[in-house]
Amino acid sequence: MNFFAGSDHAGLELKRYLISLLQEGGHQVIDVGTDSAMSCDYPDFAHTVAEHVLENPGSFGLLTCGSGIGMSIAANRHAGIRAALCHTSLEARLSREHNDANVLVLGGRIIGTELAKDIIEAFVKTPFAGGRHAGRIRKIEEC
């Protein structure tokens, strides 16, 4: 899988950890920033990741900020982006299986690294189920 990863200052350390896990798993990851712990604006990175995912069909996004809420709101402003804020591996699996999520969002101040590892593994391993879920995705995209 190919990922574009972005974070603000609050999600920086979690993003770095998850990038290393993805790379160890053989995935390609392009980090679009931030690379600094200085305060910055999460929408800048959410928009950049969303644009890259839309320009590269079949790719995925990874976004981290303090809670994950702001990143998911900003990313989901882009038609064609289905950003899922996940707190459990079950949510990650269902976001892929039922919602064909193409961006995973995590809160660096909310979850620890072991849980984040479980979540990203579930996200990566789960394909979209299609079937009845495909019609629901079409309805989302019609808005």
Give catalytic residue positions.
98
In angstroms, rounded to a whole number, what is the distance separating the alpha carbons of residues 82 and 98?
A: 11
Residue 6: which of 39, 41, 32 has the closest Cα?
32
Task: Transcribe 22-43 into DSSP letters.
Answer: HHHTT-EEEE-S--SSS---HH
Please say whether the dihedral angle defined by the alpha carbons of residues 114, 116, 120 and 123, taken in this order, is positive or negative. Answer: positive
Pairing between β-strand 60-65 and β-strand 2-7 as defined by DSSP bridges: parallel
